[in-house]
């Protein structure tokens, strides 16, 4: 379970997050949506420790962010932009990350390599990879680790259709085994199909948090999003 209380963050005089409040239950897939500049990436970066919030409290499974090592083992984060060591083979990188999480399961790793069609490229230097291939490596790592929570910023960017299908199937299996997913996306039709809940972020504040099944009574997520964007101006 992920809980966020009164999360605030400013850059200079620009107030980006204005008291974000959010709770994600175990086994939930929550889509985090909002327009450009709403504060989605800043929220994820605060949660994952890439930047420090000015105010607020974040906990995962009752482990506070202040307990750095134990807290970070509660999640795996896939950012929108993936930075790599270009001369290191993806397989070696994944093995290194698995050790940080104290995970070793070669059979499980190989199964995800196969699922994402990376058998022929997994031992090549990551500097030779396309943007989509780097995302596949990140997803292979995430599902092999299988931490309590996966946090992802636009995880479908750069993926080909087969990889998108693989991602959806792996995520459903991960959640069925007790995992929790929190990801930002601008693909409302995708969020509508695979998320249980949606949070709309507008100008640094959550303006709507609801189960997808309840929202769809009123219309599509696209129509609701457009209405929220207009109403909150």
Per-residue pLDDT reduced to its tens digit, 140-187: 999 999 999 999 998 888 899 999 999 999 999 999 999 999 999 888
Going 212 to 213 to 218 to 223, the CA torsion angle's sign is: positive
pLDDT band at 222 (very low <50, low <70, confident <90, very high): confident
Mode of pairing for the β-strands spanning 29-33 and 197-202: parallel
Question: Alpha-carbon distance 163 to 116, whole Å?
Answer: 6
SS3 76: strand
* pLDDT tens readout for residues 35-51: 888 899 999 999 999 99
Pure H helices in the chain: 40-48, 68-72, 90-100, 106-115, 131-145, 161-176, 188-194, 212-215, 221-231
Tell me which of 226 and 152 has the higher pLDDT: 152
Output phi, psi for 63, to 5 deg.
Answer: -100, 115
* pLDDT tens readout for residues 193-214: 889 999 999 989 998 898 988 8
Fold of the CATH domain 2-231: Rossmann fold (3.40.50)
- What local confidence, expressed as pLDDT, does residue 179 receive? 95
Share of the chain above pLDDT 90, in %: 71
- What local confidence, expressed as pLDDT, does residue 229 receive? 66
Q: Where are the domains of the chain?
A: 2-231
Please say if the pLDDT value at position 220 is more than 90: no
Contact 114, 162 (CB under 8 A): no
Contact 136, 127 (CB under 8 A): no
Rounded to the nearest integer, the mean pLDDT of the chain is 91
- What local confidence, expressed as pLDDT, does residue 231 receive? 64
Across the range 111-133, mean pLDDT stands at 96
């Amino acid at each position: 379970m992920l809980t966020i209380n009164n999360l605030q963050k400013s850059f200079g005089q620009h107030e980006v997050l204005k008291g974000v409040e959010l709770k994600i239950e175990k086994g939930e897939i929550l889509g985090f949506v909002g327009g450009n500049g709403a504060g989605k990436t800043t929220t994820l970066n605060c949660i994952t420790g890439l930047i420090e919030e000015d105010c607020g409290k974040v906990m995962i499974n009752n482990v506070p962010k202040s307990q750095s090592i134990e807290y970070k083992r509660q999640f795996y984060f896939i950012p929108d932009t993936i930075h790599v060591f270009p001369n290191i083979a993806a397989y070696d990188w994944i093995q290194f990350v698995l050790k940080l999480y104290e995970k070793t399961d070669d059979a499980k790793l190989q199964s995800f390599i196969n699922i994402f069609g990376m058998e022929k490229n997994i031992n090549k230097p990551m500097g030779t990879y396309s943007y989509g291939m780097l995302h596949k490596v990140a997803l292979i790592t995430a599902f092999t680790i299988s931490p309590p929570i996966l946090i992802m910023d636009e995880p479908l960017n750069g993926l080909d259709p087969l990889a998108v299908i693989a991602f959806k199937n792996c995520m459903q299996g991960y959640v069925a085994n007790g995992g929790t997913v929190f990801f930002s996306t601008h693909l409302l039709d995708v969020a509508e199909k695979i998320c249980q809940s949606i949070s709309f972020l507008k100008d640094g504040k959550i303006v709507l948090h609801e189960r997808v099944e309840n929202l769809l009574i009123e219309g599509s997520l696209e129509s609701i999003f457009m209405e929220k964007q207009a109403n909150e101006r």
